[in-house]
Amino acid sequence: MNIFLDITRLATRIFRSGPTGIDRVEYAYAKHMIDDPSVSCVFNAPVFSGAIRADRARDILRRVEAAWRLDAGAQSDGVYLALREWLDRPFDAGAARPMRFRAPKRWPTWWRDLDSFPLRDILRAETRLNRRIRRQGDQPAMFFHCSHAQLDKPERFRWLQSGGVRATFFVHDAIPVEFPEFCSPGALDRHVARLSTVSQYASLAIVNSQDSRRAVAAALGERGLRAPEIEIVPLAVDGAFSAARHGPPSRPRIPYFVYVGTIEPRKNLLFLLAVWRRLVERHGARAPRLVIAGRRGWENENIVDVLERSRQLAPFLAEASDLTDAGLARLMADSAALVAPSFTEGFGLPVVECLAAGAPAIISDISAHREVGVGYAMFADAIDGPGWVAAIEALADDSSELRRATVARIAGYQPLTWDGHVERARALMERAGASA
């Protein structure tokens, strides 16, 4: 079966210094499918939908890999090295504000990067797509879309019906529908529009967890929208995280914990900072440090106020963005544990990455986290302050029986690889294409 692979979002990532969770998923499919002669890469733009030449698609992938520095080791990651130097320093009681580590800003070089989309290719893209659709004849063809790019604009996908092409969409979650209070203004309406597009065009929807399947099916049903077949393919782990497990450990004298993700309300960071305030009150200079690895997102003014102005927490906090995969994996592997107190998640990719790196995880007791962490992670209610303090104190102590038992359990953890993930998804698409 021929596949039309949407790389709209990925093509814009040549300007970013690192991937989000959704970016990682789209990259994985492109990486594993782009050289397959049965795969054509598609770009959806406001004025056209068209097929990209194979060599042009490979060039986009190379530029993304260079922007994300996927071939860099931890020791060539300037952000990681600066952060690690801070973690190795003695406690600084006079720190006026938390440390913040970022890569030098990369200004978009439109005049150089525009050659990713030469005008001649853009003008021919729609014709090229139509020609490839006609070549299918009576053979099944599947369009695969694994990001949210353009999905709230159903008119961009009309070519699927006119060309008789079936469609599979990867729907990452229904959080803006279930929890609009945690999202940016307008996110609810945009996500309902995305689900409407899926309802209209999809033969198959792929989700990342049982909880995502429940939430997506409920969101469709409550609005009277057709639900396509919905199948689960859990997310996978990049090799850098599994490799970090086997690297030489170099934990600093003062233990640290790491949070990974965008700084946004649903991640419950304000609560986590309150927990750290209690740890500082209890332990003073011996309190563990907290590294917040992620970019600042939306609706986070109260969190940022604490990060920038808290004198009490300043010696114990650091923000780090733009880490390479290798740098982030090493940061996880040497940490006392990951802390993830989220109110809601679609999957919880940092949890499986941390477990793959061999480090413990303390995570909120929510459905998605239960799916990925049961048997390996420690769970605490998202607003149980004493529970979080106790868990952090136990895992900060290398001699604690709880820590030894937790690390021993994690030694048997085997994450899904991206090869395995893509193979499962392709098998589902093949089945959907054959049965439609």
CATH number at residue 45: 3.40.50
- The strands making up 317-320's β-sheet, listed across from edge to edge, are 99-101, 317-320, 289-293, 256-260, 337-340, 361-364, 378-380
Check: CB of residue 2 under 8 Å from CB of residue 40. yes
- DSSP letter at 320 equals E
Q: 157 and 300 share a domain? A: no
- The strands making up 141-145's β-sheet, listed across from edge to edge, are 49-52, 39-44, 2-6, 141-145, 166-170, 204-207, 229-232
What span, in angstroms and rounded, lies between the C-alpha atoms of 85 and 77? 12
Do you know the residue count of the chain? 436
Q: 23 and 114 share a domain? A: yes
Q: 225 and 314 share a domain? A: no
Query: What's the confidence (pLDDT) of residue 136?
Result: 74
Burial class of 162 by CB neighbour count within 10 A (0 to 12, 13 to 18, 19+): exposed
Query: Tens digit of pLDDT for each residue in 1-11?
Result: 899 999 999 98
pTM of the model: 0.91
pLDDT per residue as tens, the chain (436 positions): 899 999 999 988 887 778 888 999 999 999 999 999 999 999 887 777 788 888 889 999 999 999 889 888 999 999 999 999 999 999 888 888 889 998 876 655 544 554 555 556 666 777 888 888 888 767 788 999 999 889 999 988 988 988 889 999 999 999 999 999 999 889 999 999 999 999 999 999 999 999 999 999 999 999 999 999 999 999 999 999 999 998 777 889 999 999 999 999 999 999 999 999 999 999 999 999 999 999 888 888 888 998 888 999 999 999 999 899 999 999 999 999 999 999 999 999 999 999 999 999 999 999 999 999 999 999 999 999 999 999 999 999 988 899 999 999 999 899 999 999 999 999 999 999 887 6
Query: Tens digit of pLDDT for each residue in 300-320?
Result: 888 899 888 899 999 999 999
What span, in angstroms and rounded, lies between the C-alpha atoms of 49 and 42? 7
Query: What's the confidence (pLDDT) of residue 111?
Result: 40
Q: 279 and 135 share a domain? A: no
Give me the sign of the Cα torsion angle 106, 294, 95, 288: negative
Q: 61 and 157 share a domain? A: yes
Task: Give the CATH number of the domain where residue 92 resides.
Answer: 3.40.50.2000
Angle (CA) 314-104-72 rounded to 5° is: 100
φ/ψ of 123, rounded to 5, equals -65, -30
Q: 247 and 146 share a domain? A: no
Q: What is the DSSP track for 236-291?
A: -B-HHHHHHHTSPP---SS-EEEEES-B-GGGTHHHHHHHHHHHHHHHGGGSPEEE
Contacts of 170 (CB under 8 A, 6+ apart): 25, 144, 145, 146, 147, 205, 206, 207, 208, 425
Angle separating helix axes 210-222 and 187-201, nearest 10 degrees: 90
CA 24 to chain centre: 6
C-alpha Rg value of the chain to the nearest Å = 23
As separate numbers, helices (DSSP H) first and strands (DSSP E) second, the chain gives: 19, 14
Q: 113 and 100 share a domain? A: no
Query: What's the confidence (pLDDT) of residue 110?
Result: 41
Give me the sign of the Cα torsion angle 63, 68, 70, 76: positive
Both tokens of residue 55? 């060599």
Q: 216 and 296 share a domain? A: no
Query: What's the confidence (pLDDT) of residue 131?
Result: 86
Query: What's the confidence (pLDDT) of residue 120?
Result: 62
What span, in angstroms and rounded, lies between the C-alpha atoms of 249 and 393? 21
Say what the alpha-carbon torsion angle 408, 410, 413, 417 is, to the nearest 10 degrees: -140
Check: CB of residue 294 under 8 Å from CB of residue 262. yes
What is the H or E stretch that residue 318 is in?
strand 317-320
Q: 99 and 116 share a domain? A: no
Q: 79 and 136 share a domain? A: no
Q: 366 and 423 share a domain? A: no
Residue 314 CB-half CA count within 13 A: 12
Q: 171 and 58 share a domain? A: yes
Domain count, the chain: 2
Which domain range does residue 213 map to?
Answer: 2-68+107-236+418-435
Both tokens of residue 430? 């093949």
Burial class of 398 by CB neighbour count within 10 A (0 to 12, 13 to 18, 19+): exposed
Query: What's the confidence (pLDDT) of residue 232?
Result: 98
Both tokens of residue 287? 């309190």
